[in-house]
Amino acid sequence: MHSTDHNKPMNSQQRYDKYKRDREARRFYKSKAWLRCRKIVIIRDKYLCQRCLRQGKITKYDVVHHIKERKDYPELALDVNNLECLCHRCHNKYHPGKGKAEEKEIPKGVVVFAANEDID
Ligand SMILES: [Zn+2]
Ligand SMILES: [Zn+2]
């Protein structure tokens, strides 16, 4: 008779930690302080991806990114100097773990204009 160790369910502590982290993040991103901070950054960055802008491209932002990661520098989570607007493509470059960043580059000179859906 063999032991049936491999039938053990997934580590529930791990699952719990992830759940707790997600919940904490959700709470943070819904907080008034964050929403106010985010708005300041979006207006400061004129709704444009800052990384694209540094490369001479005009791209509408998709996310407000923490330059120093929130988990490493929680004290900078609401520091506008630690925040910048990025498009999804650029954001993926800063978080290579999250989804596969596309290798394809936008040809030089292509300008992407998007609707002002986020202006309120
Ligand atoms: Zn970009
Ligand atoms: Zn980010």
Residue 27 token pair: 């709470």
Ligand number, closest to the Cα atom of 51:
1
What pLDDT score was predicted for residue 106? 43
Average pLDDT, the chain: 82
Query: Among 24, 41, 32, which Cα is nearest to 118's?
Result: 41
Distance 26 CA to ligand 1 centre (A): 24
CB < 8 Å & 24+ apart, contacts of 111-117: 111/57, 111/58, 112/57, 112/58, 112/59, 112/60, 113/58, 113/60, 114/59, 114/60, 116/47
Distance 63 CA to ligand 1 centre (A): 10
Q: What is the pLDDT of residues 32-80, one digit of tens each?
A: 999 999 999 999 999 999 999 999 999 999 999 999 999 999 999 999 9
Mean pLDDT across the stretch 3-16? 69
Distance 119 CA to ligand 1 centre (A): 19
Residues 56 and 82: beta-carbon distance below 8 Å: no
Distance 81 CA to ligand 1 centre (A): 18
